[in-house]
Amino acid sequence: MSTGPGQDWHLLGTEELKHGWKGLLGEGTALLVLGLIALAWSLVTTLVSVEIFGWLLVVGGALSLGHALVQEGWGSFFMELFAGILYIVAGLMVVANPAAGAAVLTLLIAMFLLIAGVFRIVGSVAIRFQHWPWMLLNGIITLLLGIMIWRQWPWSGLWVIGLFIGIELVFYGWSLMMLALAIRKLPEPRAG
C-alpha cells in the first residue's frame, strides 16, 4: 500500500482491520458478558477486586522495602522504608477485611465525585465557554452520583466498585463489538 499524495489516509490499515474484525467482535462479546456477570454479582466483583488491590499493595510494599535495603547511601532510605511498611500494612488490612477496604475506597470515590461535580458546575458557570451547559449537566450528574453514593455509605461500599467495573466492561465490550461490525463494512482496499 503506497502512501502517495493521492492516498486515502482513512483507509490505511484497512486490510489488517478487515482481517481481524471477528477477533475484535469476539473480544467485545466476551467483555460484554463479563460486564453483565460483574453487574449481576457486584458484591463479589467488589470484594474480589478490592482483595486484588490489597495484594498489589503488599507486593508494592515488599518491592519498596527491598529497594530500601539494597540501595547504597542513605539518601531516601527512610522514605522507602516507611513507604514499604505503609503499603504492606495497608495491603494486609485490605486483604484481611475486603469489605472494610471497599467501604473506604467507596467513600474516596464519593468524595472525588462530590468535589469534581462542584468544580465542574462552578467552572462551567463562571467561564461560560461555548457549549457550557453540557459541562454544567456533567457537573450536576457527577455531584448527584457522589451524593447518592455518600448517602448510602457504608452499604454502597459493598456494590459501587463492582457496579463501576461492570459498567466499564459492558460499555467497552459494546464499543468493541460496534467497532468490529463497522470494520466489517469497510470497503476493500484498492490495489496499487
Domain range list for the chain: 22-184
Is pTM beyond 0.85? Reply is no
Amino acid at 186: L
Whether the upstream peptide bond of residue 154 has omega within 30° of 0, thus cis, is yes
Query: Tell me, what's the pLDDT at 54?
Result: 94
pLDDT for position 192: 53
The pLDDT, as a whole number, for residue 32 is: 94
Q: Which of 96, 98, 119, 97 is nearest to 46 (CA)?
A: 98
Q: Count the helix, strand and coil residues of the chain and give each as a percent rounded to the nearest 5.
A: 80, 0, 20
Q: Which residue has the cell 486515502?
A: 8
Which pLDDT value is given to residue 103?
A: 92
Q: Which residue has the cell 505503609?
A: 86
Longest dimension (CA), the chain: 64
Q: What is the pLDDT of residue 189?
A: 60
**pLDDT for res 1:** 47
Cα separation of 84 and 172, whole Å? 35
Tell me which residues of the chain have a pLDDT lower than 50. Answer: 1-3
From 43, 149, 58, select the one nearest 99 (Cα to Cα).
43
